[in-house]
Chains A and B, each alone.
Chain A
Amino acid sequence: MIKTYDVVIIGAGGAGLRAAVEIPKEYSCAVISKVFPPRSHTGTAQGGVCAALGNMEEDSWENHAFDTVKGSDYLGDQDAIEVMCQDAVRAIIELEHMGMPFSRNEDGKIAQRKFGGHTKPADPADPYGKRIPVMRACYSADRTGHVMLQTLYENCIKNQVSFFSEYFVTQLLVENGACSGVVAMDISTGEIHTFHAKAVVFATGGYGRAFQITSNAHVGTGDGTNLVYRAGLPLEDMEFFQFHPTGLWRLGILVSEAARGEGGILKNKDGERFMQRYAPTVMDLAPRDMVSRAIITEIREGKGIRGSDGTDYVLLDVSHLGKKVIDEKLPEITGFARTYLGVEPTKEPIPIQPTAHYAMGGIPTDIDGRVLANEKGDIVKGFYAAGECACVSVHGGNRLGTNSLLDIIIFGRRSGKAVAEFIKTADYSPLPKDTEEQTRKEIEALKTSTGKESILNIRTELQVMMMNKCGVFRNEKELKEGIEELKQLKERYKNISIQDKGNIFNTDLMEAIELGNLLDSAEATLYSAENRHESRGAHTREDYTNRDDENWMKHTFITKGNGSEPKITYKPVVITRYKPMERKY
C-alpha cells in the first residue's frame, strides 16, 4: 500500500523528533519508528548536554569549539563544529522553553557540571596554553536524555505529528540521485507499506550491537546506515567507533562520565589512580578514547582485576562523594550498579570495563543534513540525515561526552529547517518500479529458508570478532582476520532460517533483518579501519601508532562493492581556525 506524505522522518529519537518539530503544520509529516518514540535510545542518555552557558563559571562557545576540534583529534569539520558550538546556547535555552526539566543552580539557572574533554584556558590571556576542566554539561540529575526525549515527544504531540510507531523500515528508495521514500513493515500486522515522500530524513541512531560489550540498546543495529550503504551510497569515517571507558563489568551498561564529572576516580587493582600517569592535568576527565586505552593498557599490564567470567575490569570509585551527592546527582547509574551487580556505590567501588558506545561515522551530510552522494559533495535530492546515524562531521575521530545530545538537537533542527524549505518548491520524485519487491522477497526468503544457521550463532560470533579484532586497539593482522571472518559470516547468513513464519509481530524476522544490517555496518567499519594507517581518536593502530596529518587528515568514504571489495575514497577535512597540534591533556 502506498502512503503519501510531504516528509517522512525515520527515527523518533532526539534527532528525528527535533526535525519533526520544524515541519510546518500545513505540510504532512510522518515519523516512523520501530519502537514507541519514548522508547528510543536517546532516552538512555544520562550525563548531560553541553553548551557554554557560563551559568557556573566563565565560558565561551570558542572554548567549546576548540575542545570539540581537539577532542575529535582534528578530524572534525571545523565549519560544522563552529555552527554547533555557536548555536548550542540557543538550543539549550530553547529546550528549556519547550519545557525540559533541568537541574538548576543557586540562581535558578540551568545547572552545569564537568565532563571529559571540556576545558577552558587556565589563563584567559593564553587561550592555547594550559587548560582546566570547565562546567559545561547541562543536566537533569542523570536522566538528561530521558527528559530531553520526553520533552521533544511532548512537543510533537502538541504539534499533532503523525507517528507510525512499531513500523520497521526495510528499504530506502533512491534512484537517479533522488530519494522518493522508504518501504516499511507494520510490525503488528506484517503488512508492507511504501511511504512516498518529497523529503526523507534518516535519524536512525547507532550500531553498537555489532560489538559484544555495548552500552547500546538491542534496537541499535544500524538499520539506517546500512540501508544507505546498500543503496550504493557512501558512509563516512566508519572506522571511528567510540568505546566508553566505564561500562558495568560484564553487562556493558553505561556508567555516565557524570560520575567522574562529579569527582569519581578510576583505580587499578593496586588502588592506584592510574589516570594521573596518562593525563596529568585532567586525569579522570580525559576524553574517552584516552581513558579507554588507559584502562586496556592497565589490564594488559596485569593491573586489572579478573572477574568470574574470565574478563578483567578496573574500578570506578564514587564512594567518597557521600550519599547525598550520589543520591541527588547520580541516582540512576548507582542504582544500576546496585541492581545488576549487587554493588553498593556509596560504600564500594564499581567494577567497570570499556563498552562499545557511539558511532562517530555514518551517513555523510552537509551542515543542513543533506546527504552527500559522494566525496565531491554532490547531494542526494530529497534525502537528509541527522543524529548518530549521520556524520556531519562534528565528532571526527572521537566524540566528547555531552556533544551527541547537542548534535541531535542542533542538526535535527537544521535538517528539519532545510526540509521545510525544500518541500515548499519540491515535487515528489517518482517511485522506482516494484518498490516493495525487494522487501517482500527478502522476507519470503527468510521465512521459507530451511538453512541450518541460527541468528544467535552468527550474531554472537560477529560481536565477539568485532570486540576482539576491531576494538580499542587494532592492527593489520587482526583486522584482516576480522575481514575474512566477516566474509564467512556473511556467507553463512545466507543460510539462516527463522522459526516464526507468521505475519503478526514477528520479532524473529526482525532480528534476522537487523543481523543483516549489523553485518554490513561491521563490514564498513572493518574495511575502513584496515585502510587507515595511522592512530587518531578512537582508531588506535598498534602498527601505526602516530597520528599522520600529512597523509590522513581526511575523511574515509566507503562504498559497497558490487560483488567485490568495498571502495574507499577521501574527502578533505574542513579547517577554519584551529591548526592541528599534538593532543595532550
Chain B
Amino acid sequence: MELSVKILRYNPEKDSKPYFQEYKVPGVAEDWRLLDVLHEIKWKLDGTLTFRRSCAHGVCGSDGIKVNGKNRLACSILLKDLNYKKTITIEPLPAMPIIKDLVVDMTSFFQKYEVIKPYLITKTPPPPDVERFQTNEDAEKLFESAKCILCGCCTTSCPSTWTNDNYIGPAALLKTYRFVFDTRDEAPDERLDIIDNPDGIWRCHTIFNCIETCPKEINITWHISQLKTRLATREF
C-alpha cells in the first residue's frame, strides 16, 4: 500500500518559514505505527526529516506530534486508526517554538512543571527503617495522574494555552494533583497557592481538549476538578 503524508518542514538554517512537504511512502501496511512511517521516510526517502522518538511504544513521551489536527504520539497510533486512504497531515505540537521539523522547544512546558514543586514535601521525618503507610486505595488514587509521561499533548491542545502563554496548563495541574492528593505529602497548601491565580487553575474552562488528546487516556479534567473543589473548600 502506498501512503501519502504531508509533513510540516522547517529548518531554521535554510528556511524563512515552515512549509508542507508531501511524501509518497510505498510498502506500508495498516498495522504500522505512524512512527514506522516517519522512520520509513527518514531511513529510505529523506534523511533530513527530523523528529524525536525513543521507546516506540508510548511510555517515554518523546514523539508528541499533531496528526490530522489532533495531538498524538506517533508510536501509539496505527494507520488503521487513521483515515489513511487520504493524505495524512503531520505537524509539530502547536503553541511551542519549532526547533526543526517536528521537534519543538519544550522549555516552557518543563518550566511550568517545575513551578508546582513536583516532588514529595514532608515535614515530619519518615519512620526509620520502614515505609510510610498508605492504603492501597489511597495509593491508587495517585496512579492515574502518575501515569503521565510529560508528552505535552494536552497542554499544547488547550485553547487556554493558545491564548495565554503563562497559563500553567493541564500537565502541570495534573502533577499538582499527584502531590496534593498524596496522603504522604505535607505541603498541599504551598502547591495550591501556586495554582490559585488567574494564570493558574482558574484559566481552565473545562473545554476537554486535553482529555481527548491524552495518549495515556488520563481523565485530566476530573483531576483538575478535584483540585478546584479542594481550593474552594480549603480553610485558612
Q: Which residues of A contact B (CB under 8 A)?
A: 35-36, 38-41, 43-44, 90, 92-93, 96-99, 101-111, 140-141, 143, 146-147, 150, 154-155, 157-158, 188, 217-219, 251, 253, 332, 336, 339-340, 342, 454-456, 498-500, 502-508
**Could you tell me the distance between the alpha carbons of A502 and B99 in the complex, rounded to whole angstroms?**
13
A154 touches B119 (CB 8 A): yes
Tell me whether B60 is interfacial, beta carbon within 8 Å: yes
B139 touches A157 (CB 8 A): no
Question: Inter-chain contact count A-B, CB under 8 Å?
Answer: 153
Which of B54, B133, B143 meets A219, CB within 8 Å? B54
**Could you tell me the distance between the alpha carbons of A146 and B130 in the complex, rounded to whole angstroms?**
23
B103 touches A253 (CB 8 A): no
A103 touches B136 (CB 8 A): yes
Tell me whether B114 is interfacial, beta carbon within 8 Å: yes
25 A-B residue contacts at CB 8 Å?
Answer: A39-B61, A93-B130, A96-B132, A97-B126, A101-B146, A101-B182, A102-B139, A103-B139, A104-B134, A104-B136, A104-B139, A108-B133, A108-B135, A146-B146, A154-B119, A154-B120, A188-B105, A339-B58, A339-B76, A456-B44, A502-B48, A504-B12, A504-B99, A505-B101, A508-B47
Contact residues, B4-27 vs A (CB, 8 A)? 11-14
**Could you tell me the distance between the alpha carbons of A218 and B33 in the complex, rounded to whole angstroms?**
15
Q: Give every chain B residue within 8 A of A109 (Cβ-Cβ).
A: 130-131, 133
Tell me whether B190 is interfacial, beta carbon within 8 Å: no
A500 touches B118 (CB 8 A): no
A97 touches B149 (CB 8 A): no
Q: Give every chain A residue within 8 A of B13 (Cβ-Cβ).
A: 502-504
Tell me whether B194 is interfacial, beta carbon within 8 Å: no
**Could you tell me the distance between the alpha carbons of A188 and B103 in the complex, rounded to whole angstroms?**
9
B147 touches A143 (CB 8 A): yes
Q: Give every chain A residue within 8 A of B228 (Cβ-Cβ).
A: none
Which of B42, B114, B146 meets A157, CB within 8 Å? B114
A44 touches B55 (CB 8 A): yes
Q: Give every chain A residue within 8 A of B48 (Cβ-Cβ).
A: 499-500, 502, 508
Contact residues, B151-195 vs A (CB, 8 A)? 182, 184-185
- Excluding A35-B54, A218-B54, 15 further A-B contacts by CB distance (< 8 Å) are A35-B60, A39-B62, A43-B59, A99-B185, A101-B139, A102-B131, A104-B135, A108-B134, A108-B135, A140-B146, A154-B119, A157-B114, A218-B55, A454-B43, A498-B47
Q: Give every chain A residue within 8 A of B89 (Cβ-Cβ).
A: none
Q: Give every chain A residue within 8 A of B140 (Cβ-Cβ).
A: 103
A101 touches B142 (CB 8 A): yes
Interface band, chain B: 35 or more
**Could you tell me the distance between the alpha carbons of A188 and B184 in the complex, rounded to whole angstroms?**
39
Q: Give every chain B residue within 8 A of A146 (Cβ-Cβ).
A: 59, 146-147, 149
**Could you tell me the distance between the alpha carbons of A251 and B110 in the complex, rounded to whole angstroms?**
31
Interface centre among B130, B131, B135, B182 (most CB of A within 10 A): B131
B146 touches A35 (CB 8 A): no
Tell me whether B223 is interfacial, beta carbon within 8 Å: no
Which of B56, B99, B143 meets A140, CB within 8 Å? B143
Which partner residue on chain A sits nearest B54 by CB separation? A217
B106 touches A36 (CB 8 A): yes
Interface centre among B50, B60, B132, B134 (most CB of A within 10 A): B60
Instruction: Report if A35-B62 is in contact (Cβ < 8 Å); known contacts: A104-B136, A143-B146, A218-B56.
Output: yes
Which of A98, A106, A455, A507 meets B50, CB within 8 Å? A507
**Could you tell me the distance between the alpha carbons of A41 and B185 in the complex, rounded to whole angstroms?**
27
B43 touches A253 (CB 8 A): no
Which of B12, B61, B78, B120 meets A340, CB within 8 Å? B78
B101-145 to A contact mask, C-beta < 8 Å, 1/0? 101011000100010011110000010011111111011101100
A505 touches B99 (CB 8 A): yes
Tell me whether B66 is interfacial, beta carbon within 8 Å: no
Query: A388: shortest Cβ distance to chain B, in Å?
Result: 15
**Could you tell me the distance between the alpha carbons of A340 and B61 in the complex, rounded to whole angstroms?**
17
Q: Give every chain B residue within 8 A of A99 (Cβ-Cβ).
A: 119-120, 182, 184-185
Query: A394: shortest Cβ distance to chain B, in Å?
Result: 23
**Could you tell me the distance between the alpha carbons of A146 and B60 in the complex, rounded to whole angstroms?**
9
Q: Give every chain B residue within 8 A of A141 (Cβ-Cβ).
A: 143
Query: B62: shortest Cβ distance to chain A, in Å?
Result: 5
Interface centre among B48, B55, B129, B182 (most CB of A within 10 A): B55
Tell me whether B2 is interfacial, beta carbon within 8 Å: no
Q: Give every chain A residue within 8 A of B120 (Cβ-Cβ).
A: 98-99, 154
Q: Give every chain A residue within 8 A of B103 (Cβ-Cβ).
A: 505
